[in-house]
Each structure stands twice: as C-alpha cells, then as structure tokens.
Structure 1
Amino acid sequence: MTQRNAVRRTSMVWIAIAALLLFPAGARGARFVSSIFSARDFLQDSQDAQDKEQQRRDREQEARDREQEKRDREQERIDRMQERYDEGREALDEERYEQAEAKFDQLAQSNGPQTDAALYWKAYAENKLGKREAALNTLADMKKRFPQSRWQKDGDVLGLEVKQSNGQPVKPADQSDEELKILAIQGLMNSDPERAMPLLEKVINGSGSPREKSRALFVLAQKGSALGREIIGRIAKGQSNPELQREAIKYLGLFGGAQSRQIMAEVYAASRDASVKRAILRAYMLGGDHERLFAAAKSEKDESLRREAIRQLGLVHGVSELEQLYQAETSTDLRREILQAFFLAGESGKLVQAAESEKDPELRRAAIRNLGLIHSDDSGKALQAIYSRETDGGLKEEVLNAYFLQGNAAALVAIARNEKDPELKKTAVSKLSLMHSKEATDYLMELLQK
C-alpha cells in the first residue's frame, strides 16, 4: 500500500468514528458510516486500478527501452563493420593490400551481413600480394559458406585469374595499365561507342579493382546511350555483385530519366535486400522523384526504410508530402523523423507550427530542437515567441538549447538578464559559458563584476 493510500484509509477511519460519535444509536449514523466505507472502497479500488495501469505502462516502457537498446547495439555493431569494410575498400583503392587483407579478414571472422563480400576482397588482396594459395583457399571458403552468394560469379573470375597467374605480387606498371585502359576506353566511347561498350562490360564483369569497375560503370552511365542504360539496368537488377548493383542504381538516379526510374521501381518491388532498397531511395532523391519516395514513406513495411524515405523526402524539399505524412502518422518515432525531415527541407514554418500546437510534449521538444538547427532570423524570432508564451519549464529549457545550437548568444543573454526562474537563468548562463562570442563574454564579465 502506498503512503497516499494509507493516509486516505486513516482519514476514512477517523471520519467514521466521528460519525458514530455524532449518531451513536441511529440508523442514519449506521448508513452514513456504511456510505463512508463504501466510498473508501471505491476510492481504494480506483486508486489500485490507477496504480496497476501505471505499473503496466511502466513495464511496457521498460520493455520498449530494452528493445531499443538492443536495436541500438546491433546498429552500432553493423556501423562498425561497415566502417571497417569502407576502410578495406579505401585501402584497395590506394593499393595498400596488406592493410586491406587485414581489414577484410577481421570482417570475415565477424560473420556480419557482408561476410561473403569481405571474403572476396580478402582473396583479391591476397592475390595482389602474390599469396596464390591463400587467395584460392579464401575463395573456396566463400564458396563453401555462401554457395548462393551473388559474389560467386566474381569469385569464379578471380579464381581463374589466380590459377593462371604465377603467384607474383602485382607490379606498379600493372596498376598504371588499368588507368590507361579506362582512359583508352573512355576515348573510344567518344569516337566509336559500339566498340567501347563490350569492353566496358568486360571490365565490369572481370576481376579488376573496385576503382576500375566503378570508373567503367561511370563512363557507361555518363554517355547516356540506350545500350549503356541497358547494361546498367541489368547490373541494377542484380546481374553482378550487390556492391556494383548499388553503384549502378546510383548512376541510374544521376543520369537516368523515366525509363531508369521505372527500372529502379521494378527492382525495389522485387528486392528483399534492404541495402539495395535504401540505395534506390537515395537514387530517387538524386533524380528528384517525390512520387516514389512518398509511396515508400507511406507503405513500406520496413520501418528503417520508411525512415530513409522520409529523410530523402526532406532532402528533395517534399514539404507537401511530409505534411501529409505527419498528419496521418500515429507513431511518435516516425513523426519525430518527419520533423527532422522538415529541418532537412529548411521548412521552419512547419516546425514552428508543431512547436506551438503539437499536443505531444516529446514532439514539441523535437520541433524546437530542429528549429535550433535552422540558422535564420525567422527561426530565432519563432523561438523567442515560443519561450515568451511557454509555461512548461522543460520546453523552455529546450528553447535555450535551441538558441545554443544556433549560436544565438544575444537571445541567451536577453533571457539571462530577464528570467525570474533561477534554474532557467542558470541554464542560460551555463550555455553562454560554452560559447565563444563577444556577447557571451561581455555578459559573463558583467556577472563577475557584480
């Protein structure tokens, strides 16, 4: 029993005793006492129900927090592996094959989502270092562990090259030959595209370096020919490995028209690979495709992809679509994402509207926070108006934080001078102490001289 319930029960008992003293023998007194205890029981039951409901909500929130922490830890693990993968690819591009081999070996042992790709690039680096047997063993390991991997085709091509080589480390001249080859093909594209196309496709499907394949794909996309689009379309549909597929999708977004967007829509509908779908959403952004981003933001089942679509809508200034999503959405997390997208779109008006009229305090805080990220006179004036009208201390503190994010020392100084609430005044001064501006320094000196 809580202390509040105990106090209530004791009060009821004393009221009942007083009633008996006032009406010692009458039926009226008995009825009065009975009604008091009935009221007590009703209040007790009501309070117990409220306590149970609060406990239930607390348990649900704790469960959600644990689940979110689990997702955050998993995302951090994936992010670390992606960072290591990118470092390995960078090492390959810079011909630091020993470092690349080490990075991809670590990834291969982590058993992450890109383990098959890591094994391929590890074998590639081993081959460049002249480790013929090691490269073949790594490729065999990839084939055994990932028999259905889309890297198998690349692995077969690389394996054939390894077997045909004499196991010697790569020579610098060989690398310059790659550069010259791409330059020659690029020149041929200008004079005789029909002869150049098969050569580019051969480079893309061969065992060349990541940089060589990427450049070949870029040359193919940049030309904008029907045959080039056809080749890129096949790669975007999954003919090659996932890495080149994502690269092809990016170029479809950059250089493609309606036909390219249709190819991406077909791939999006058919694919189960979230990374491929994410690449398509980003390509839609590059092509300014509001309609398909809006459709994904509304109907995508994967929440992470919905978030991605919402972010990309912000980047293409899809304010109308974002407003419709915000009105229809029931998830607080996704509504918070939409507010972030309004910031990406530079749409301070919608953020002001949410900050002033949103009933959910968490969303109001998010709107205020995003206003702080927009460095403009309008957002500064809006924050000032919100602060002057607001009565909630937590939200006023969020406005102070928004001013800090803006670097708006003048506004913080004004609040520090006039604020009657000592805690808010202290918060404003604390923010000013972290800012390197003349207004902040002058005010702090003024405080010290008092």
Structure 2
Amino acid sequence: MRIAFRILVVSLGLVAPLAAQQPVVTGVQVDAHAAHGLPAELSAAAKDGIAWVGYSIPVLGHFSDNDGETLYLEGSRDGGNWDSDRQQFDHVNVLLRMEKGAVTKLRMATPNRKLDTGGVKFVWLEGVSQDESIREFVSLANNASQERKVRDASVMIIAQHESPAATSTLISMATTGDSFVREKAAFWLGAHRGQDGTKALLQLTRTEQDEHLRGKLAFDLTLGKENPAAIDELIWMAKNDASPHVRKEAQFWMAQKAGKRAAGELRQIVQNDPDRSIRRSAVFAISRLPEGEAAAQLIQVAESNKDPDVRKQAIFWLGQSKDPKALDYLTKLLRSN
C-alpha cells in the first residue's frame, strides 16, 4: 500500500498550533457542521454517490506532511517535495472517501495542507471525539470484507490518536483480531505507542501461539526507543523460543539492535545450539553485526567452532565482508592451505 503521509514522533522543532482548523478545499463548497454520530454522518455523506469526509484529531507525538502543498484526493497526483523542511503538528486531519455508504480510501494530512477533491463533495465534521474515531477505525480494520489497504490504514490511524485508549485498543486487536489485524496492531504498538506499546509486545512474545506472528514480534521489539527489556526478550527468544523460525528471526534482529551484547549471545548459540540450522542462522546474524565486530566474531567462529559446516558458513560470510581484517584472515587461510 502506498503510504501517503509521514509520521514524526520526535519532539524537536516547531510545533504549529493549528488544532481542529477546517482545511482549505478548492473547487467545491464545503459542507461544515457539527457531527451527530460519526457512523451516521459517514453513511449520510455519500448515500447516493461519492464524498470525502474529514475531521481533526490530536495525535501522539507530532505529525509532518508536505507543508502547504495541495493534496489531490482523487487520482494519483500528489503535490509536495519530501526533501523540503516541514512543520510538525499536534493535530491531523483524517480524511475518508465514501462511496455509497462504504469507505473506499483513507488519507491523513496536516492542518495547513490545501485539499483538492477533483470536484467531489467534501464534508467537514466538527467535534468528533477520539473515542468515536477509534471505534470507527476498529470497525473498518476488523471488517474482513474491506480492502486490505483500508484495513491496514485503519490500524495505523488508530495508532496516531493521542488518547491512551488507542494503546489499549491496539493491544486488544493484537490479541483477538484475525492474523492480519494482529500483525498490524503489534507493529504499531512497537512503532508508535512508546513504553506502553513495548510492554504489551513483551507479553505477546510469550502468549502468541502463531509462530509466524511471533517471528514478526521480534522485529516489532526493535521499533521503539532503546529499551533494555526489549533487548533481553530478543535474546531470550533467540535462545529459547520453541520455534526455529522465531529463534532465527530473533537472532537477526538482536544483531541489529543489541550490538556487542548480541555478539556474545550469538557466539554461544553458534557453539551450543543442538539444531544445525539454528547454528547456521546465528552465523548469518553475526555477519549482520557492525562491520568491525562482525569480522572479529566470524574469525573466531571460523577458527574454533567444532562443526565444519558452521566454520564454512563463517568463512563464506567473511568473504562477503569489506572489513580489512576479513581479507587478511582469508589471505592467511589460503596461504596456509
């Protein structure tokens, strides 16, 4: 799915106070009024045709978009240059395309972006609560007959809400939804809901029964800010999870996240795990460590591991390295033979 917006969760830079401001819409007259029940408003907006419906929500962190550029809601054209400096906002405009009572597209935009609907009716709703908004997107995400891109975007939009209810909602979705929803909800818990999101992931790694989703959780644990408990859990998963698939995923991501600590843990796995495929995958994970550390660890494995297959694997990855130590070691190895 094409992500049509960018999210910043850092607190640096200017945050513009354009909360709940009605956007400028070109080409059509805006029907702006107070909302009287979001589901009813959405159904009524395009009962006999097509309409865009928008409203504003406060976001967790800050939201950034193509400053001042026109967003073309119909067709594939979009304004903006992502290389330019952009303001950050504490509110965002949520935009839903309705056709005959059904949501067919979702967009988000900063309050200062002009909107072009291509002549399609535009309805702006005032006073939509966060709880009401979250409930609407939960309904869309859980609707298995809805297009996947709409379900995907719905989970992401839930995660942007400032309300703590967004976190508890995502936790519920990550534990009770279908596999598609559980995967998306877990991702956004890690990517955008801070320490509370990470805490929820730490519980999911021990309770999720689907090994494919458990493997995804290893990546999700790397998405938040540095958290020692997340690193501890990656290491535990890499060494102890019942699924070889999950152990391999955890090995890879701990190499990306845990640095020197990962090196020692991976070397233990290479040395001691009874499963040869796990030992081989740990060698690959070692090769993903920072360059200087990777070569040093691979050389140790190549020189000392008792499994000839694992030693060959280490030599192979040394051959892919650009570290001078790797070249020196391989040159000496060739000369000795």
Q: Same fold (TM over 0.5)?
A: yes
Runs of 4+ aligned structure 1 residues displaced above 3 Å come to 149-152, 207-213, 221-224, 235-243, 258-261, 284-289
Query: In the TM superposition, what are the counterparts of 1:228-247 in structure 2 within 5 Å?
Result: 232=93, 235-236=95-96, 238=98, 245-247=105-107
- Give the Cα–Cα distance (whole angstroms) in 2 for the partners of residues 442 and 449 of structure 1: 11
RMSD: 4.0
Which secondary structure state, in structure 1, belongs to the residue aligned with residue 317 of structure 2? helix
Counterpart for residue 405 of structure 1:
288
Comparing both structures, which one devotes a greater share of its residues to helix? Answer: 1
State how many pairs are aligned.
240
Counterpart for residue 433 of structure 1:
319
Structure 2: segments with no counterpart, 5+ residues: 5-45, 53-66, 81-87, 112-126
Whether contact under 8 Å (1:236, 1:267) holds in the other structure is: no
Counterpart for residue 356 of structure 1:
239
Q: CA deviation at 1:383?
A: 1.4
Provide the identity percentage.
Answer: 18
Counterpart for residue 184 of structure 2:
308
Give the alignment partner of residue 175 of structure 2, picking from 275, 298, 305.
Answer: 298
Whether contact under 8 Å (2:205, 2:217) holds in the other structure is: yes
Instruction: Give the structure-2-normalised TM-score.
Output: 0.59
Counterpart for residue 344 of structure 1:
223
Whether contact under 8 Å (1:372, 1:401) holds in the other structure is: no
User: Which amino acid is 1:422 matched to?
Assistant: P
Query: In the TM superposition, what are the counterparts of 1:14-413 in structure 2 within 5 Å?
Result: 152-153=49-50, 210-211=77-78, 232=93, 235-236=95-96, 238=98, 245-248=105-108, 261-271=130-140, 272=143, 273=146, 274-287=148-161, 289-301=166-178, 303-316=179-192, 317=194, 318-345=197-224, 347-374=230-257, 376-406=259-289, 407=291, 408-413=294-299
Q: CA deviation at 1:442?
A: 1.0
Counterpart for residue 22 of structure 2:
none
Whether contact under 8 Å (1:336, 1:363) holds in the other structure is: yes
Indicate how the Cα distance of structure 1 residues 427 and 251 shifts in structure 2: closer, same or farther if over 3 A, else same.
same
Counterpart for residue 66 of structure 1:
none
Whether contact under 8 Å (2:173, 2:185) holds in the other structure is: yes
Counterpart for residue 189 of structure 1:
none
Whether contact under 8 Å (1:151, 1:241) holds in the other structure is: no
* Partner deviation per Cα, 1:220-247 (whole Å, 9 max, x = no partner): x9696xxxx8xx56x448489957x521
Whether contact under 8 Å (1:372, 1:379) holds in the other structure is: yes
Comparing both structures, which one devotes a greater share of its residues to strand? Answer: 2
Q: CA deviation at 1:441?
A: 0.8
* Partner deviation per Cα, 1:194-214 (whole Å, 9 max, x = no partner): xxxxxx9xx989x7984369x
Q: CA deviation at 1:293?
A: 1.5
- Give the Cα–Cα distance (whole angstroms) in 1 for the partners of residues 260 and 102 of structure 2: 49
Whether contact under 8 Å (2:97, 2:106) holds in the other structure is: no
Indicate how the Cα distance of structure 1 residues 204 and 366 shifts in structure 2: closer, same or farther if over 3 A, else same.
closer
Structure 1: segments with no counterpart, 5+ residues: 1-81, 87-148, 156-181, 187-199, 214-220, 253-257
Whether contact under 8 Å (2:248, 2:281) holds in the other structure is: yes
Q: CA deviation at 1:447?
A: 0.7
Indicate how the Cα distance of structure 1 residues 263 and 279 shifts in structure 2: closer, same or farther if over 3 A, else same.
farther
User: Which amino acid is 1:246 matched to?
Assistant: L
Whether contact under 8 Å (2:167, 2:189) holds in the other structure is: yes
Whether contact under 8 Å (1:237, 1:267) holds in the other structure is: no
Quick check: which has more Rg, 1 or 2?
Answer: 1
Whether contact under 8 Å (2:237, 2:247) holds in the other structure is: yes
Q: CA deviation at 1:428?
A: 0.6
Q: CA deviation at 1:387?
A: 2.7
Counterpart for residue 448 of structure 1:
334
Counterpart for residue 120 of structure 2:
none
- Give the Cα–Cα distance (whole angstroms) in 1 for the partners of residues 244 and 76 of structure 2: 52
User: Which amino acid is 1:436 matched to?
Assistant: K
- Give the Cα–Cα distance (whole angstroms) in 1 for the partners of residues 157 and 209 of structure 2: 28
Task: Choose between structure 1 and 2 for higher RCO, CA contacts under 8 A separated by at least 6 residues.
Answer: 2
- Give the Cα–Cα distance (whole angstroms) in 2 for the partners of residues 283 and 380 of structure 1: 37
Which secondary structure state, in structure 1, belongs to the residue aligned with residue 322 of structure 2? coil
